[in-house]
Amino acid sequence: MPQERSVVASVRPGNTIVVESRYFAYAGLITRKGCVMSSKTDSRSAPKGRVVRARQNVSQYRDLSRGSIEKATSQSGAPAGAGSILKALRILEKIVHHARPISVAELTTILDYSKPTTHRIATFLEEFGYLEREPGGRRFIESQRLVDLALNVLLAASQRPNRHGILNWVVENTGETCNFGIMHRGELVYLDRVETDWPLGLRFESGSRVPLHCTAIGKLLLSMSSGDSLDSLLKTIRLTKYTDTTIVDEKELRASLAEIRKAGFSIDNQEFMCGVVCIAVPVFDSTGQMRAGLAISAPEARMSAHQAVEHAPLLRAAAAKMQAAMFTPVGHTSDDEADRDDDPTLVS
């Protein structure tokens, strides 16, 4: 692969523009209408003459005889490559928000990018392990590396002082341990936890994994899952019996989940551990989708299932604070920002 360099002849109709980068080489011909006739090639090949739309007006490259085109494109003060980075992030966003595997053609339509740009970026992300193909297919899905990154971000974010402080507030007002968790690969993962000062209590660390079907947050997450998603989850998780009150019959579990969905909170009445009662409420994102759960847990000697319900209003108030702290966007990347592509090829 040639060394990274960029060479531009004085930009007049009929002149040739040649760009070589770390991953691709382009050669093109400036036309009278200010377009670039270009095609992806290696550095020794001649352009095939396909006319494509130029992102930048070619006049900005006049008098640039040698050097980096990227420097000439950073008119907004953004770092070189910012446009491509934003496009890559938008592709990741669309893939993780899509309910099923998504193709390059679908991404192209949704994002209004050219197909070559979408394919190039998605393939690059796949090569570096942030995307992968669906089993036996060509559509893209999130990779395990991307999932692990997202989980680590949530683990770190949930323990920031303002978010961790919400759990402290719950503990101070209830006198019981407070948990914050999400679903990950068919399990409940505790992202953060504040223990009560009582000598009798449970001890879990952030990052601990527990079952979905017999925990308050886990059942709540299952209850808020869509029909197809719930069907898939119940096919993969094991309904292990942990106590005499653990629900292990799928039909009975589905009925319980329907009641939880209607009530808007979930109770674990000694279903995971004997003598321990929990209540959980959902934490929604800005679109109204449940992303996590907030719960308190206590020995049954201190908090019965009936007494746990009395804490639901306080937990909902804390969940609203957690939503504002974690899931309400403080800014939004517009399409115009992502379109400021300083790709040295000058093409879509």
Domains delineated in the chain: 5-73 (no CATH), 82-142 (1.10.10.10), 148-326 (3.30.450.40)
Is the Cα dihedral 296, 284, 321, 151 positive or negative? positive
Tell me which residue of 239, 290, 246 sits closest to 268, measured CA to CA.
246
In the prediction, which pLDDT does 200 show?
A: 56
In the prediction, which pLDDT does 11 show?
A: 40
In the prediction, which pLDDT does 84 show?
A: 85
Edge-to-edge strands of the sheet including 276-284?
209-210, 187-194, 177-184, 290-299, 276-284, 266-269
Taking the mean position of all CA atoms in its chain, how far away is CA 282?
19
In the prediction, which pLDDT does 269 show?
A: 97
In the prediction, which pLDDT does 136 show?
A: 83
Q: Quick check: helix, strand or coil at residue 131?
A: strand
CA–CA dist 249, 255 (Å, integer) = 10
Tell me which residue of 26, 27, 30 sits closest to 14, measured CA to CA.
30
Report residues of the chain scoring pLDDT below 50.
1-76, 331-348
Q: Report the chain's terminal Cα–Cα distance, integer Å.
A: 23
Q: What counts of helices (H) and strands (E) characterise the chain?
A: 12, 13
Q: Which tokens belong to 186?
A: 């068919």
In the prediction, which pLDDT does 67 show?
A: 33
In the prediction, which pLDDT does 290 show?
A: 92
Q: Which tokens belong to 71?
A: 């420097």
In the prediction, which pLDDT does 342 show?
A: 38
